[in-house]
Structure formats: structure tokens, C-alpha cells
Amino acid sequence: MSTEPRDTDVPDPPTTDLVHLRADGVSVVVDLVGGTLPRVLHWGADLGAPDPAVLADLRHATRPVPLGFPVDGEVAAAVLPEQSAGHVGTPGLTGSRDGRDFSTAFAVTGHTVEHTDDATQRLAVQAVDAAAGLALELVLELTAQGLVRQRGTLTNTADDVYALDGLLLTLPVPAAATELLDFSGRWARERSPQRTAFTHGTRLRDNRRGRTGYDTAFVLVAGTPSFGHRRGQVWGLHTAWSGNHRTLAERSHHQPGLLGGGELLTAGEVRLAPGESYTSPWTYGSWGVGLDALAGRFHRWMRARPQHPRTPRPVTLNTWEAVYFAHDLDRLTELADAAAAIGAERYVLDDGWFGSRRDDTRGLGDWYVSADVWPEGLHPLVDHVTGLGMQFGLWVEPEMVNPDSDLARAHPDWILRVPARLPRPARHQQVLDLAHPDAYAYILERLDALLTEYRIGYLKWDHNRDLVDAGHAGVAGVHGQTLAVYRLLDELRARHPGVEIESCSSGGARVDLEILQRTDRIWGSDCIDALERQQIQRWTNLLVPLELIGAHVGSGTAHSTGRRHALSFRAGTALFGHLGIEWDLREADAAQRAELAAWVAAYKELRGLLHTGTAVHADVADPSHHVHGVVAHDGSDAVFAVVATATSDALPTGRLTFPGLDPDATYHVRPQPPGDVVDGLGSHGPSLPWWTPDGVRLTGRVLAEVGVQVPVLFPEHLVLVRATRV
């Protein structure tokens, strides 16, 4: 056995090939030593400002004993893992030239570190594999809010075509992260959480719906045991792409853990001719202690974007569940009058205004105002709505077409399909091929004409089916369709910068950070049952700040579940979002209208706090109750909801805590009208002693650690608590 020293026994000298990025309590240490693709040595808590020699010793101190690897020497997965480096898990790059150049061995040719105007630190790494005829640029950024985001650009430098099958980027997590949280879902029940152990092997979440999906992994979180909203270290990854994509968590005996994501490409979808490039979606990583901290980084980053909505989020009346397809000017103007009377600020005309669209079987694609229903066009309704001081909004579904439409009959070649057959219909519709230049030009012209003719301030942009058998010019077309939708939205926004756009997709099936670069809110779900919405909105808020989550007050009976809820529960749930109304208010009695008006007034009072503050959630041991709220960034004010979803084992209900406040400040804690009315056992007998406008005065530390007794609520009821610093 040789006793000669190995290079692994020699400490690494200080080098600029170790890059340390720091922001908002987060450190990312990137190892470029040796000229191979970058490896992340640490992503997590801030390490301070060690000098280069300490970073070099960190690298040396964390190198493993070179035993048990599939090749001689150590194996460290790069942000784009390569089998040539000994990685035998999921590869970062897959593709070939008719079977050749199937495995790469990139060598780094240079890297730069720069600081952008928004305080983002950007590491750009250039690499080549001359033998494979490929060049790669990897960009890793640490934003001012402590978010890590990555993307890669692959360029074909050879003389023949390279068929790209996938480009996936990863971030490491430590062995201490033993639990995974991701999400499942379906129509009207989006973002349902599921927990699994983070064991050896690969947890792969492939999405092949052609849109983000009800059942997307959403944010894939790895965390320390029993992590919660306020406890445990968590590392989360989001793949920002509105088409097919994949997200994975992977662990093996020589790799403590990786989280990865990228676009899911089907066979032949991306073929790079000589000189052509492919750029992957951004993947975002967020670290924190507790899920609230992880979410807060996403929220602060989104709010810092220049295009983020700055004006108060207007109370929105949507006509869908009020009238469905039954459009009638008198009925709709009466509804507008009722909406304005309770304080609505935006009125949205939903499906049924165009072509032959009297139901969901026909007319999609014929984006001309129906002369049968609207002989004078939409002007009488638009004028009436805007005359009441409300903004006018309109529903569209530009990416879809009914076979029973003038558009489909005139241009059957504008439908995404394989050559031999049409895809099976869904909701009586097919998908318009927006990668077809003529189809794209038609939709752009129609939407531009509508926005030019009418005073439209808002588009509800829907997308009501999965993309199945979605072919363009004989090859898979989801990649091209996704990029075309982005181009279309970008062009419309450039032409009509004052128009806001909502991303709706059968409810919440297109919610991701890339579509939200082009839209101003998402429709959380077609289900506005308040009980279901408590969970849907809670987990949507893991990624999306409240002001971008459409949340509506429905009628007494939820249309998607048949449940009946008190108006206080419906309105108190919708309060924590971008509040709207989806209810035929002409049928509401005077008492209901007055109560709804009170909730609308409370929303207007609170939305400055709700839409700029920090979202918090208590880790409540009692599964029947949930406490969530928003705390002002300076800790001066907060509003919380105490929600009973079931009956409690305890009677009376025990203490609940209120997190996120300044621990050393004293707060005036009291019920918040109109959520101060208690519906529950004993509500007509002895009252909770402190449940008065005078309330109590407690420190933030006491509220977080000890808590207060809360009212005994009937299931599916809530109350509001206000805490103001004194």
C-alpha cells in the first residue's frame, strides 16, 4: 500500500476561486477550485465575513474521506451535476447527437462576480466541453432578500445538431434535513401539503400538464425534524416555469442531499442547431428558520420588483358566480349598482360576452363582442361601471379555442396537435398554437383592439385545460407555446402598461414566479368555500404575497362544495388576500349588504398593513385551530385571525400564541371589528374577560411564548385580533 501523500491531504491555499455571497442572514459559498463546474459548499445561515484563508480551510475541512465513491477521489455534485465527475444520481444535462456526446466534462474558462443596481450579487461562470461541442454559462444570484436563484444557458458550438433532453440545476442541503414537504392538488383543492421522509433515493415530481399544474410540487422544502412555520431550518426550491417542469429531492450514501429543478423537455422538443442556445428557467432557493422565514424572502423579493403593484389592491366584484353565462345589461348594471354601494372598486365581466359564447361548448377564439347580447357593444356597461367610480375588467381565455367557433373552422391548422389526430377535448376546447405566427398575430390584434376601444383596466386571463398531445409542426410544442405566451403577455403590457392582468387557470393551476413576472395577481382557486380556502390560501402564501392572491367572498352556499358558511367566516377568510366578491348581491338582503360593507371597509382600512407586512403563522398544537396574521415590518401593528376549523379537545379552548411581534415592545391587544363578534359556545353567556375594546396590554414576547385565551368558536368560524404597539 502506498504511503505517498495524496493531494487530498494538503490544505488548499487561499484562492479567488472560492466565492462567498452574503445577504440578509444567508451565506452561499461556491467552490470553483480545480476548473470544474461550481459546487456549493454551503447554503444557509450567514457565516460572517471570514477572510480567504478561512474559506480555503472551510473547503479543506469539509472534504470527505475518498472512500465509497463510484470513482477514485472525492465526488462533489456541481450545481449542474455530471457523471464524468463521478455523480451517479440524476444528471444535470441530458442530450446527445444521435447518441454521441451523451456525457459532458465541462471545464470552467472564467467567472465574474458583480453587484447589480438592486443589490443582487451575481456569479456568472463560463465553461466549455470542446470534445462535445458545447458551451455553458451558469448564473447564480443571491438577492438582497437572501434568495438564491440559478439558470443555465447551453450553446451548441459544433457543426451538427444537439438534441437537448434536459437541463437541471441543483442546490445542496445538509444531512440534518430529514423531512420533505411538497404539494399535491386537484381542481378546487390546489396546493395540498404532503410530508415524506427524506430518505435515500430520488423523489421526482414531474409535471406534464403543459401549465404549472394543480398538483405541482410548488415549493419543495427539505427541513430538520418536525419543522414548522416558526421552527426548524428549512431549505426550499421553486422551479419558475409555466410549462412542463420537474422538481426533485435526491439523497445517496455519498450525497447528503440535493434539491433540483428545471424544464421537462419531451423527445425532440429542443434541438440546437450550430450556434443556437437554450436557456433554462430560473430555479429559486430560500433558506430560513421556519416556513414563515422561507416565505418572507420570496415576498420581500417580489415586492421589491419595479413592476410590483404599488396602488391599493381594489375590492373586485366578479360576475361569474352571480350570473354565469346569462348576460343581460339590466341585470349586470343592477349588480354594478349593488357592488358600488357596498364599496367595490373594480367590476369584472366574466365569460359569455363574445361571439356565440352562450355556454362553454362554443365560441372560444372569436374575440369579438357578441352583437346578439351586446348590440351597442360593451360601451353601455363600461360607461355605467366607470360612471360609478369603479374600474372595468374583462375575462378572456386567449390560449384556447372551441372546435365550434369561427376561428377553428377557418384555421384548423392553428390548433396544437400531432399530425394524425386532434387531442382529446377537455371542456369542449383545444389549445391554440401561439407558436404559429399567424395565430399569435390574430390573438395579439384582437386583445389589443379590445383594450384600445374600451376603458378596460384589468384582464382576467384564464387557461382552462391541460396541454395533451400538444404538437407544433409535427414535434412537441409545449416549450414553444410557453415562450409564446410569455411574449404575448410582454407585448400587451408594453402596449397597455396601465392594464393589470390576473393569471387564472381553472382556478390556481398556473401559479409560478415566471408567470407572475407578467401578471399582477393569481386566482387562488375556483373554490371559494371559506373552509377550503383557509388551506389553499395558507399554502399559496408560502410563495405568493397576500396582495397577489385573489380571494373572494361567495354567496352563503359555496358553489363548488355545497357548504354553507356565515358571512363573517367567508369575509374574514377573503380579507387575507386581494379581496373580492363573487355573489349576486341583488339577492342579498339589507342586513347582509350592511355586514359585507363593514368587511369591505375593514379591508380598505387594513390593506396597507396586509399587503406590505410580514405574513406569520403560529405552530398550533391543537389541530382544530389555526392562527395566522400579518405584522408590520417595523413591528408597530398587526392583525391576526383565530380560525376554528373543527371542534377542539379542550373546552374552553386553551391559549393560543401570536408570533412575529417585537418581543420587547408592549402591545394593545383587542378584538378587531367586524371580526369581533363571537359565534360559539357561551357567546350569549359569560364573555371572555379580555374580549372588549379595552383588551389587554402584553409584550410581544408574552404573546409569542404564553399567548392568550381565545373565544370558544363554533367550527368554521373565525375572529380577528389587533395588536398595536403602545
Active site residues: 462, 526
CB 618 within 8 A of CB 658: yes
Give the CA angle between residues 412, 415, 420 to the nearest 5°. 80
Look up residue 71 and give its three cell numbers. Answer: 470513482
Enumerate residues 6+ apart whose C-beta is below 8 A from 634: none
Question: By three-state DSSP, how is residue 185 classified?
Answer: strand
Distance CA(512)–CA(528), nearest Å, equals 20
Omega prior to 674 cis, within 30 of 0: yes
Q: What sign does the dihedral 85-87-91-95 (CA atoms) show?
A: positive
Q: Which residue stretches of 72-180 are H helix?
A: none
The strands making up 26-31's β-sheet, listed across from edge to edge, are 18-23, 26-31, 39-45
The answer to whether the bond into 711 is cis (omega within 30° of 0) is no
Closest CA to 480 of 435, 444, 413: 435
- What is the H or E stretch that residue 279 is in? strand 277-279
> d(Cα 614, Cα 610) in Å, to the nearest integer?
8
> Cell triple for residue 595?
355586514
The identity of residue 211, as a single letter, is: R
Spatial CB neighbours of 658, under 8 Å, sequence gap ≥ 6: 618, 627, 629, 638, 640, 669, 703, 704, 707, 708, 721, 723
Q: Is 481 exposed, middle or buried (0-12, 13-18, 19+ CB in 10 A)?
A: buried
Query: Nearest to residue 320, comparing CAs of 506, 591, 498, 544?
Result: 506
